[in-house]
Chain A
Amino acid sequence: MEQKLVALSGNEAVAYAFKQAHPHVASAFPITPQTEMMHKYAEFVANGETDTEIILVESEHSAMSAAVGSAAAGARTFTATSSAGFALMWEIVYITASLRLPICMALVNRALSGNINIHCDHSDSMGGRDAGWIQLFSENAQEAYDNAVMAWRIGEHKDVRLPVMVTYDGFIISHTADALRMLPDDVAYKFIGDYKPGYALLDVENPITVGPLDLTDYYFEHKADQIAAYAKAAEVVQSVSEEYGALTGRTYEFCEEYKLDDAEMVMVILGSSAGTAKDVIDEYRAKGVKVGLLKVRMFRPFPAAYIAEKLAGRKAVAVLDRSASFGGFGGPVFTEVRSAMYGRQVPVRGYIYGLGGRDFDLGQVAKVIEDLQKVAAGGKVEDVNLLGVRS
């Protein structure tokens, strides 16, 4: 099978991936840096390349609500947003997962206001980390495309039935032309398959009620059922990724390892910054410093045991968060990784970097590696640090 090599921005790549699933409905409201993705998709529709019904709405709250209605009706549905748009969806973001509707969302990572900022950080995704969506992070346009193809298979799996958020860094990935390989349309659709909803409001022969009042008598049982769904979801992410790897030659796991095998020190990172970190790790490796990288692809469900296993026995670990948890103990990734490492006797330090699109440069990675060496040697480095900010 020939996978055409193309040059596309991340937004275009994801628009193509979504088109290949032949969704029945898309519902979205424009916000930078997501806008271009829906522009591209609207172009597909206008050119007759897909018969997706695009619902134009007056806000992201409505976009997510319309998507829920569409998915509950039995249609394959997606939406896309960024930053404040995602924040405005908030109420319905939870409802989507609670109703177990396998909607796909392209979340083009952008800082939350205020002050107003259009550039990349992960505050938006991380704000939604407890909402019940599967979250797949991408390092470049290729990974964003691949995640966006796999997302349908994962979310719509009969044992999963959960919404999937494919995230990619605003501007850094969304607006940068990148080389990637795409599946032919027919092969992609064959992989994704027809959508078979578990239930549908439009199935008038089998009437159902969706989202009824659920109080002290049954709500907790429904939540317990939802809590249990994520272990199964992780298994399906794994199996779908393996199948995708066999098809495309691009294999994904919960995390990507880079020079990890013999690494004494490890950086944990998400998204496009992994590429920068890999370059600096190469420089330090050339000097004989045993440092490696663990790039988290699946942040939800959080693969705690898997990560703990990968990081066990290391001399020092640095977790880099592109978002802050104001008033909390470090960023969200740090908190979860350190918690997963409880009892493992591995020192874990946290770094908050790149807020509001602040460049993540080589010097910042070098600083982290220098700190890791210090920690590995028994020296003192604060639990939580800010990286690349003027003091």
Chain B
Amino acid sequence: MAAKTLTIDGKQITAEEGETILQAATEAGIKIPTLCHLEGVYDIGACRLCLVEVTGTPKLLPACTLKVAEGMEVSTDTERLRKYRRMTLELLFAERNHVCAVCVANGHCELQTLAYSQGMEHVRYEYTFPKWNVDNTHRLFGMDHNRCILCTRCVRVCWHIEGAGTKNVSGRGGKSKIITDLNQEWGDSESCTECGKCVMSCPTGALFQKGSTVGESERDRNKLEFIVNAREKKQWNA
């Protein structure tokens, strides 16, 4: 593996060939906001929060899928990017029914944390108040579509870490929905192994352990990372 030297936010860094800008930045202690990214599963560049500016490229590119290149100059925190990030978050809050006050994830929610980090103290867009249901049919877990941001982390962990393929996406646009098997109730799913990885991966309160009270739902992401490291790097000791 050849090493590449590049500049991120004026800081000269080296990175391994094949690494993403997000990995390289994280190693260099530069924090880029992310939402659909989850350590352990592949990246899809969907949430657009990690968009960065690359000198010489007119388009903004997602740091999670952009590979490092020699001599690249990357800016991760310009005024324009901050503005877009805040707008993206506001759009998410206006899209479904995110009522922090009554959410299991309140205080442990990545969407909330990101909103604060971008200084979002209110949402300028009109809330759409769509009607979504809650699937409470599973023995152990629940899915509240009102809180779903369609990051598809649950889908990816279900397919690529657990290998069960229970979760998927149906519909399109704002009507997209995370479904279980062939769009049936979670409680009726035959493929679900009840491993709970989807719940661990959820950035908001959309997926929750039944019986958790408001503000109780802390995610154990280390378990996901441990499994992936164990498999890929043969590191069986945490």
Chains A and B form a bound pair? no
